[in-house]
Amino acid sequence: MNTLALNQIALWKPKLCDQLTIREAGAGRPYIENQIIKKTTDKTYRYAKNYEKGKHKFCLFVITYANNADVVERQLDAVAKKLKASEIAKAVEDSTDATFTYTKYSLEEK
Amino acid sequence: MALCVLPYPNMDFVPLDVLTADELDQIVANINAINAVSLPTKVSDLTNDSGFLPASNLNYSTSEIDTGTTWIDGKKIYSKTIKITSPTKDATTDYAHGIAGFSLGWIENMFVVKTSDNSVRSLNYAFSTQYAMAQLNATNLSYRIPATDWGWDSATLNLYATIKYTKS
């Protein structure tokens, strides 16, 4: 099972609903930063959205302190365009209900 | 094959989501619904609803069969095998196939069988005034079976023709 990395955009198999969904979680969630396990100090928000690229359907999601859905969604959309089909295919194939692949992209702090 | 209807179709989650106990129960209910769908285990289980080609479409029949395929214009292709007992020899003969709404058709396979020993000959013979012929139109399957020179003029024959066609 993967470890939470804040602001790191993750690639997963397509979720049930295609549109952007947001889930809020309370403070105190363990996450990893610079190989150190820390705990979140505030609410975090999980943004997730499905995309299609060629014949590949996939989900991008990110967990962050940022609570501006429009800004986050635009960044997810931009990352979806940058991803290669081979990378998407491999990540989707390797996905399980509990595991996913982090991309090299992270949310830009604005 | 039964369709799978999820009890919670809008249950949306990704890994690392903090889920409530109720949400976990909903995910389990969805998984159980998927597992409850009975999949076909043999060819005879397949039906038109499954999206697979039904086994019956692969068989030959003197009754009309929907082959499950379509022509270039999108129309369904049907199949039917015609059996003519003791067909006329040495004369072009029309056999009314009785297909209502016949649009376009072709002869997939046509042959005669000598009933005494089940020898088979296709209708592709031409010599002197003797020739074999087959034609299909909206009303008839027309055929001509040679008599003399072909050597089967005294034999008792059955003629089989499998035709495929579309309807208007």
Q: What is the ipTM of this complex?
A: 0.86
- Please check whether residue B5 touches A, CB under 8 A: no
Q: What is the pLDDT of residue B69?
A: 87
Inter-chain residue contact A16 with B12, CB threshold 8 Å: yes
In the three-class reduction of DSSP (H, G, I as helix; E, B as strand; rest coil), residue B44 is classed as helix
Provide the pLDDT confidence category of residue B123 given band limits of 50, 70 and 90: confident
- From first to last of the 110 residues of chain A, give the pLDDT tens digit: 688 999 999 999 999 889 999 999 999 999 988 889 999 999 999 999 999 998 899 999 999 999 999 999 999 999 999 999 999 999 999 999 889 999 999 998 65
pLDDT (tens digit, 9 = 90+) per residue, B48-84? 555 555 555 568 889 998 888 889 998 999 999 999 9
The residues near A107 (Cβ < 8 Å, ≥ 6 apart) are A7, A9, A62, A64, A66, A72, A75
> Which residues of A are less than 8 Å from B15 in CB distance?
1-2, 10, 12, 97-100
Answer yes or no: are the C-beta atoms of B112 and B120 closer than 8 Å: yes
Q: Identify which of B100, B95, B60, B98 has the alpha carbon closest to the alpha carbon of residue B80.
A: B60
Cβ pairs bridging A and B (under 8 Å): 39
| Residues B10, B16: Cα–Cα separation, whole Å | 18
For B17-46, b/e burial (b = at least 16 CB within 10 A) is beeeeebeebeeebeeeeeeeeeeeeeeeb
Element (H, E) at A74: helix A69-82
Interface of A with B in 79-98 (CB under 8 A): 97-98
Mutate to test the interface with A, among B4, B14, B26 (most CBs of A within 10 A): B14
Spatial distance between the Cα atoms of A40 and A94, rounded to a whole number of angstroms: 28
Mutate to test the interface with A, among B13, B16, B18, B19 (most CBs of A within 10 A): B16
- pTM for this entry: 0.53
Which helix (H) or strand (E) element contains residue B158?
A: strand B157-167
